Amino acid sequence: MTHCYICGSGITGDHYRRNVSTGHSSGVSGGFSSTSLRLSERTYTGVRTVCQSCAEQLDAQGDIQPWMLIVAIAIVAIPFLWFALHSLKY
Ligand SMILES: [Zn+2]
């Protein structure tokens, strides 16, 4: 039996293949004596077999809905518009 990569339960029904985060590493490369000192962070991803419920959760996380963009633009734009209108009076 195949097991879900995320929740570990046995998959009896359909198998779903999803690109999931498989690991995360962060560290300092270059050494303290080097001038090329920098902090490196990377997240590793790979395609793994998951169950239906985990696949649905991943799909929900990955989708950016159009209304989310409109809300985000409005949150940024409203203070600018308010300031522009306010400054015109003087
Ligand atoms: Zn699962």
If you measure from the C-alpha of residue 51 to the centroid of ligand 1, how many angstroms do you get, rounded to a whole number?
4
Assess if residue 79 is contained within a domain.
Answer: no
Assess if residue 76 is contained within a domain.
Answer: no
User: Is residue 10 predicted with pLDDT exceeding 70?
Assistant: yes
User: Is residue 57 predicted with pLDDT exceeding 60?
Assistant: yes
Work out the pLDDT band at 42, boundaries 50, 70, 90: confident
Phi/psi at 43 (5° precision): -110, 130
Bridge partner list, 26: 41
- Give the residue with greater pLDDT, 52 vs 68: 52
Assess if residue 10 is contained within a domain.
Answer: no
- Give the residue with greater pLDDT, 62 vs 16: 16
Total domains in the fold of the chain: 1
Beta strands of the chain (E only): which ranges?
A: 16-29, 38-50
If you measure from the C-alpha of residue 4 to the centroid of ligand 1, how many angstroms do you get, rounded to a whole number?
5
Assess if residue 46 is contained within a domain.
Answer: yes
Assess if residue 28 is contained within a domain.
Answer: yes
Q: pTM of the full predicted structure?
A: 0.50
Assess if residue 8 is contained within a domain.
Answer: no
If you measure from the C-alpha of residue 17 to the centroid of ligand 1, how many angstroms do you get, rounded to a whole number?
11
Q: What is the pLDDT of residue 87?
A: 86
If you measure from the C-alpha of residue 88 to the centroid of ligand 1, how many angstroms do you get, rounded to a whole number?
56
Assess if residue 9 is contained within a domain.
Answer: no
If you measure from the C-alpha of residue 72 to the centroid of ligand 1, how many angstroms do you get, rounded to a whole number?
31
Q: Give the structural domain span for 22.
A: 16-63
Q: What is the pLDDT of residue 28?
A: 62
